[in-house]
Amino acid sequence: MKSSILIIFILCSAKCYSQQNSGGAKEDIKKVLATYMNCLINKDSTTFCSLFAMDSVSFFGVNATETYKEYMQKYPNARLILKDNYRNFIRFVASSKKKAEEKYSNVNIWNDNTIATLTFDYSFWIDDKETNWGIETWQLLFNGKEWKIMSALFSYNDQHITPDPDQKN
């Protein structure tokens, strides 16, 4: 009898403290994405920074081939890899008087309730004009309470060099 009660207690405890199912995790990860995008529009640096797991999160862009070739002609010191951090990015957005917005589509999430990969197509807009576009991927972790961004990597296509095929101008 005591062992039966113990087993029931352990099973109930495991259920109560277990992480969400992968469907619930996907919805929570989508909320992180939506919050990130809303922070850009609202210039909310406090909430934006709270989405990241730690200060030293990797945050890199990679110039697309045509963009990089063109930049090298104009700017001989141009770099293929754009190393930045999320704090500088939100500082740039929040300090500008111009409207900034990142739009996204084709969201894919792969997770095991502990870690996740999020990919999506993005386009970045300043004052309702697209400046760049590409693919963005995040690595996230579940810290026992919520999903946090561990890294961000994005391709960078300059709209003036390689127009976004998804935009009809």
Q: Where are the domains of the chain?
A: 21-158
Q: In which band, very low, low, confident or very high, does the pLDDT at 167 lie, cut at 50, 70 and 90? A: confident
Q: In which band, very low, low, confident or very high, does the pLDDT at 23 lie, cut at 50, 70 and 90? A: confident
Q: What is the pLDDT of residues 70-122, one digit of tens each?
A: 999 999 999 999 999 999 999 999 999 999 999 999 999 999 999 999 999 99
d(CA 46, CA 89): 13
Is there a contact between 134 and 154 (Cβ–Cβ < 8 Å)? yes
CATH number assigned to the domain with residue range 21-158, chosen from the 4 options 3.10.450.50, 3.65.10.10, 3.60.15.10, 3.40.1360.10: 3.10.450.50
Partners of residue 68 on adjacent β-strands:
none
d(CA 162, CA 64): 9
pLDDT at 48: 98
Q: Supply the pTM of this predicted model.
A: 0.84
Indicate whether 12 pLDDT > 80: no
